[in-house]
Amino acid sequence: MQAPSQPLPFPRSDDRQGRDGRLATPALLSERGFALRPARDDDLPWLRALYASTRAEELATIPWPDEAKRAFLDSQFALQHQHYLLHYADADFLAIERNGAPVGRYYLQRGAPYHLIVDISLLPAARGHGIASALIEHSQRDAAALGRGLHLHVASDNIGAQRLYRRLGFVQIEDSGAHRRLCWPAP
């Protein structure tokens, strides 16, 4: 797959077969000034920066010039964005905001028999404050109400995320080397 010269646009809410493209903001987060909203094309610059922040530690030891790192990250973001839109077109592509400022993204595909957490990413300053836990627990309750489970993929070297998912009841069902597939079964 080649990176597109222009990023693909997000699906419009009215193109999504009657779905509103939103997951309700969990009360715990809304009380702290957070909100979820459908991602828009004008979010792409900060989403690109968010993606880069998730790879900063990995690229810190690579002796490339900053311009080469930026070009690489821009290309990788464009490919990931294209992949998500093509393979999970019916997902909820949500921006996470706090007091109107973006702090992360949450992409969730709701379907049977499992909902799929396509992606959850937070800016460094927003990590470790219970945002991901609140979103996942809310998604677990929504899935359970429909008799469904949740599944996701996580990088094998992302120990912190794996610890969070296990604490929330996810179990590993597959290990491909680079990624692990985890599942939270329907209750």
Summarize pLDDT for 32-71 with one digit per residue, the tens: 999 999 999 999 999 999 999 999 999 999 999 999 999 9
> Residue 159 corresponds to which tokens in the numbers above?
């120990």
Q: Establish if 39 belongs to a structural domain.
A: yes
Q: How many domains does the chain have?
A: 1
Structural domain span for residue 47 = 23-184
Q: Establish if 6 belongs to a structural domain.
A: no
d(CA 137, CA 140): 5
Q: Establish if 32 belongs to a structural domain.
A: yes
d(CA 110, CA 21): 10
Summarize pLDDT for 136-149 with one digit per residue, the tens: 999 999 999 999 99
Q: Establish if 18 belongs to a structural domain.
A: no
Q: pTM to 2 decimals?
A: 0.91
The per-residue pLDDT for 6 is 73
d(CA 103, CA 185): 29
* Grouped pLDDT means (10 residues each) for the chain, 187 residues: 74 56 82 95 97 94 96 96 96 96 97 96 96 97 95 94 97 96 93
Q: Establish if 4 belongs to a structural domain.
A: no
| Phi/psi of residue 93, nearest 5 degrees | -95, 100
User: What CATH number is associated with residue 127?
Assistant: 3.40.630.30
Q: Establish if 14 belongs to a structural domain.
A: no
Q: Establish if 5 belongs to a structural domain.
A: no
Q: Establish if 74 belongs to a structural domain.
A: yes
In DSSP terms, 115 is beta-bridged to 150
